[in-house]
Structure 1
Amino acid sequence: MKAALPILALAALALGGCGASTGLSPAKGDKLPVAPYGATATPTPNQLLTPDSQARPQRSDELLTQSQERRSDEFDLPPSR
């Protein structure tokens, strides 16, 4: 068990060094995806990797400041037999 710990640590360091250290770009001979319908220009790789507000909505922490009575619901009927 004690001999496996240094081997696992070495493997973790080796796998940690596999990350890319340069910016992303398309492979040689490939092009970026075509511009979306209605767009005036093709987005850059950084623009494609940045999520928009629909993909990552902001959190809403608005507290209830006023208590309001609910209006009656005409469709909230008991089950029929």
Structure 2
Amino acid sequence: MTARIAKGVALAALALALASCGGRQPLKPVQGQRLPAVPVGAATAPTAAQLTTPTIQARPERNVELLTQSKVRGDDPFDLPPESDPR
């Protein structure tokens, strides 16, 4: 009987997984709410796709510079020893 319950649970989980990956529909404002105001200097209000697309500042491109060779560290004129306390 536990095998039957396990199959039922697995079938229910599969049905839930398939139901959760439904189709994509364009975003629409909730009934009774207004769209965001038109930004200053813009000719038209931004669309839902424009509002949900992250900007370059929010998602910067990755800069991958691999260190290809070891280099000897140069002399640092600001690497001074700590001052001694005259007390």
Between Structure 1 and Structure 2, how many residues are aligned? 80
1:72 Cα deviation after fit = 1.6
Amino acid paired to 2:28: S
Greater C-alpha Rg: 2
Percent identity over paired residues: 34
Change in 2 beyond 3 A, CA 1:55/1:76? farther
- 1:1-81 to structure 2, matched below 5 A, reads 1-2=2-3, 3-14=5-16, 16-18=18-20, 19=22, 21-36=24-39, 38-40=40-42, 41-64=44-67, 67=71, 69-70=73-74, 72=76, 74=78, 77-78=81-82
Which of the pair is proportionally richer in helix?
2
Stretches of structure 1 that go unaligned for 5 or more consecutive residues are none
Instruction: Give the aligned CA root-mean-square deviation in angstroms.
Output: 3.2
CA–CA separation in structure 2 for the residues paired with 1:49 and 1:32: 14
Alpha-carbon distance change, 13 to 69 in structure 1, aligned in 2, over 3 angstroms? same
Q: 1:9 to 1:78 in 2, by over 3 A?
A: farther
Give the CA deviation at 1:73.
Answer: 5.0
Gaps of 5+ in 2: none
1:18-37 CA-partner distances (Å, limit 9, x unpaired)? 4453211101121222234x
